[in-house]
Structure 1
């Protein structure tokens, strides 16, 4: 078995970077805010200070947990926003203290589900953001307040815990799938060897394109550290001495982006496609924003495809786009070449296969491909020997990890994404939602009211439910009754998976939903396209964060 001296972790990366780039800023953290809630100014945190802060938090949590009798290598739940520098210190500090973080998103606000997942991981304690403390009742493990400022941390003059030597199969982090399966997310345990492969991949993605005046790349927080995307991007940034700017929120305004480029020197933008689209649309009307976006070395997006019109406009106007394809279970897997065609290539050093899908599988997608398309559709499979193949609990019977993501090979070694072979969609922040589970629940609980239904909402904040009805009940009463009957089902799901308002239930005439010609199945994508204008109104899609 390999040990920590030969396999890297986030902690060894931080130690190396603090040695190589001690005085460079590792983060810009908010110093002041405007009346609109945008960050108005930032202050730097150097690499050496970041290391010292992590060690401070390690001393604190090492003292607290050992005082409670929790031995090292125990799993500790962490229910945090994941969007702040202090959140990073909690996560890195806890691992530096010798514990295994089980990371919960604030988008999973049901404590009962959190408790079940704590039980599945055999967690011994829960660190919780103050905003969630009011929800905690009957927690099965001891809870601790997660500080929101560094000044709230007391190291108790405790010694720095010894850095443990880990074997390649030892678990370092536990994430969760971003969508619920059978009413709950799945555990995604990440071993040291898996983490080492992630460090290799993130090094490729974050490699500097050109050198700025300050000889340092500056990028932007992509999302919550409780999800894999930002954890991955931070690993890449740290290896190259890159600085990460903390924004006011994930969907930060174009005004704030202007300030980050002007005042912090941002030259690389990492965002989910939905949020990048807003800035591209603003750039059309705001010459100053367009000029600054043209100066970026990299505008990397992930999670969803950009609308074709936006992608073509960006290329035509000199914005340097890259598309990164990944998942919670494997982190990043494919990246585009940066050319205008945006074809995807597997990252170096991994072992992937693109396998033809079985004919029967093409019928499971509500948008049944043509014979020509299905003949060339390939599923991305992460082979067992690939360093980033996830834990055995997530693999298929053949030992490989079948992603369910479909591609077409446009030329040898180059691919374009063609969606999935199942009923999952992605929300605006690229978290997954099982539409079929929602539809099945509606049919089971509302069969006397609903003759047919379909769930849509790809790239939206939450799903929408379209129904054809058997009932002559007034529409508003019908919608409220559906909400009432399905409330318990949705209470266990992530926020981005929930049907929680009558506004996202749409009643249409019987037989009016688009259907396939052969089996008569409702076509999800066709429904989404046919009702796009209505959906835009429902979600109030007009962006208001421009200057």
Structure 2
């Protein structure tokens, strides 16, 4: 890699050289019987870097034995939630290959093969639990075993820095939602990733309000098979900060308190749907509230807090930073805790980026049912160093149109207001194409369904509302819709699927709220009108 381009591997090498004994990870050791956390084991940066080298020699020997050339794309289909997963991802790149990262949220092997074929991938490294799913793989397959448990050949690895072009691909991710039945490839180039690393340094800079000498300690945010955790992690390690690996993404407040007390947790990186549970608990748990107040920062991304949670946070001086970002652009806008306009903490673009905000048409504003709301779509200009790969940009103007809408509250200060299309963001900020689901229902159930709409913003998965054509019993109608749409949903991410009749709601014809101009069903209005029913369906009613 050229000296002019930083990568996560060069960052790790530098940090391990400068801070070898600093703790890079705290990993839970569980009681095999009770699953209780016995201890949080510490892994130093020196050990982390050594483990990456070990795993790189393992994967280098495995792939070279099959004569797979360096710089080939290798599919990595794993959970991305554990320390060993991080080793696999870093090691494939360190061995001289291009990892194409697949989340276990896409459990259909046919989709994996199709996406790998688009990148001309040469092999798949798979999670051990998927042994039976990869039997028909068209490329060589390798189980993601822990290389620390086996004998690894002492092969030489490519230079840590070698000559590359800024436009060369370093890693491949995928959009978090399916377009036309499939996610899109999101290639990361060396020059793009170099700038993302600089942004990560800025975003994850320790706050250290109380003790400048104390190590910054944060918590895992999500799967490293998605860009969010990969970006946050490379930002974290640049400051020789520690990352705590949770037992599950929606970790309990009890586990949070344990992290604070035994791991010295100083900040949380989390999706707001999960943070909300801790905020609710702090309303009647003084100890939890006190610990939240003492954190340097709670960093949330993907979705805003509810107005009620915003009020609670502000009234109790809990330091929360809101981040707007996407798979294609990583972090793009941040709030400042001390900057407040009314009840809102606005977002501001991260310095060093080039964005524009384009007004949307009045017809689109009709969905929001507020003629005084001037909505602007955020567009990443092609001149911005974080503008994604050319394959993802508009063919018309060469820029990247996010589809995300904002209001400008003051010059250069914005608040997120949803999307300018038929996509929604689910509980962990992954995207779901609602129109694709609706179109499939209309195509397969035209004789049964008069109209339909999909909702589920900030929920774990979507829910389908149906206005029927016939007098068929609601339960029978639900089952028939499920039967006819089963194949369609089998090809989608887990968070995009409707696989239970519990998530289909039958309502009388022409009773769903509609826009005044075009007569379209209003998605946002349904989210609000049916909130209590949706809370019951998702089991979140408090």
- TM bin, normalised by shorter chain, reads over 0.9
Q: Distance in 2 between matches of 1:285 and 1:241?
A: 35
Q: For residue 283 of structure 2, give the secondary structure of its aligned residue in structure 1.
A: helix
* Residues 36/394 of structure 1: CA separation in 2 closer, same or farther (3 Å cut): farther
Q: For residue 405 of structure 2, give the secondary structure of its aligned residue in structure 1.
A: strand
Larger CA deviation: 32-41 vs 248-257: 32-41
Q: Give the C-alpha shift of residue 35 in structure 1.
A: 6.3
Q: Give the C-alpha shift of residue 452 in structure 1.
A: 1.3
Q: Give the C-alpha shift of residue 150 in structure 1.
A: 4.6
User: Where do residues 62-73 of structure 1 align in structure 2 (5 Å cutoff)?
Assistant: 62-73=60-71
Conserved in 2, the CA contact under 8 Å of 1:76 and 1:124? Answer: yes
Normalising by structure 1, what TM-score?
Answer: 0.95
Deviations 1:295-335 (A, max 9, x none): 10000111111111011101111210110100001111001
Partner of 1:236: 235
Partner of 1:443: 442
Structure 1: tracts of 5 or more residues without a match: none
Q: Give the C-alpha shift of residue 529 in structure 1.
A: 1.1
Deviations 1:114-168 (A, max 9, x none): 1100100100000000011111232111000101x35334321223333333221
Partner of 1:180: 178
Q: For residue 26 of structure 1, give the secondary structure of its aligned residue in structure 2.
A: strand
Conserved in 2, the CA contact under 8 Å of 1:323 and 1:344? Answer: yes
Q: For residue 248 of structure 1, give the secondary structure of its aligned residue in structure 2.
A: coil
Q: Give the C-alpha shift of residue 420 in structure 1.
A: 1.0
Partner of 2:148: 151
Q: Give the C-alpha shift of residue 101 in structure 1.
A: 0.3
Conserved in 2, the CA contact under 8 Å of 1:33 and 1:41? Answer: no
The answer on 1:280 being equivalent to 2:283 is no
* Residues 35/205 of structure 1: CA separation in 2 closer, same or farther (3 Å cut): farther
Normalising by structure 2, what TM-score?
Answer: 0.96
Q: Distance in 2 between matches of 1:449 and 1:42?
A: 55
Q: Distance in 2 between matches of 1:534 and 1:153?
A: 52
Conserved in 2, the CA contact under 8 Å of 1:62 and 1:161? Answer: no
Q: Distance in 2 between matches of 1:360 and 1:542?
A: 34
Partner of 1:480: 479
User: Where do residues 358-377 of structure 1 align in structure 2 (5 Å cutoff)?
Assistant: 358-362=361-365, 367-373=367-373, 376-377=374-375
Conserved in 2, the CA contact under 8 Å of 1:37 and 1:248? Answer: no
Deviations 1:154-186 (A, max 9, x none): 321223333333221110110000000000000
Q: Give the C-alpha shift of residue 97 in structure 1.
A: 0.6
Partner of 2:193: 195
Partner of 2:77: 79
The answer on 1:356 being equivalent to 2:397 is no
Q: Distance in 2 between matches of 1:135 and 1:106?
A: 12
Q: Give the C-alpha shift of residue 198 in structure 1.
A: 0.6
Structure 2: tracts of 5 or more residues without a match: none
Partner of 2:52: 54
The number of residues matched between the two structures is: 535
Q: Distance in 2 between matches of 1:463 and 1:134?
A: 28
Q: Distance in 2 between matches of 1:68 and 1:454?
A: 49
Q: Give the C-alpha shift of residue 369 in structure 1.
A: 4.4
Q: CA RMSD in A?
A: 1.5
Conserved in 1, the CA contact under 8 Å of 2:73 and 2:100? Answer: yes
**Given the alignment, which residue of 85, 95, 101 partners 2:99?**
101
Partner of 1:332: 331
Q: For residue 77 of structure 1, give the secondary structure of its aligned residue in structure 2.
A: strand
* Residues 221/384 of structure 1: CA separation in 2 closer, same or farther (3 Å cut): same
